[in-house]
Copies of this chain bind each other. A is one copy, B any other.
């Protein structure tokens, strides 16, 4: 990991967060898992940022190791592997959304509609609940065996 050295990344809350997703690729994988319903290796690989396959493998195993993703081999199709965001990852939603609100304010080329920030400001808990429900829906569909989801 870039700049890991011998730092103990726990202790300080900011440092702990930086240690886990203070990395562009982890960040984007979490976005894909939490916001874009991506679950498989090839889905993550297909993101427009173009992550390298070896880096993706590394980050997925790292995120699994810290407990952010749960790696599960699909029992009905053993060649398919799914990475589900855990509660730990889901609990990052408020921070992630707060960052997105910040980005929409400062990124001159933002693709996010202004309605996004407004919706969050007026009903933060509801917005988070909406994303959680989406995650539940996707996961239930896959775990329930509906492979086409």
Please list the residues of chain A having a beta carbon within 8 angstroms of any beta carbon in chain B: 2-3, 5, 7, 10-19, 21-25, 27-28, 31, 35, 49-50, 55, 67, 88, 91-92, 94-96, 98-112, 116
Contact = CB atoms under 8 A, between A and B. Distances in A.
B22 A104 contact: no
Nearest to A7: B49
A25 B62 CA distance: 19
30 contacts: A2-B2, A2-B24, A10-B107, A10-B108, A10-B110, A11-B110, A11-B111, A12-B112, A13-B99, A13-B104, A13-B107, A13-B110, A14-B27, A14-B28, A14-B99, A15-B31, A16-B103, A17-B27, A17-B99, A17-B103, A18-B27, A18-B28, A19-B24, A67-B106, A91-B102, A91-B106, A92-B99, A95-B98, A95-B101, A98-B98
A55 B7 CA distance: 16
A148 to B, nearest CB: 27
B3 A25 contact: yes
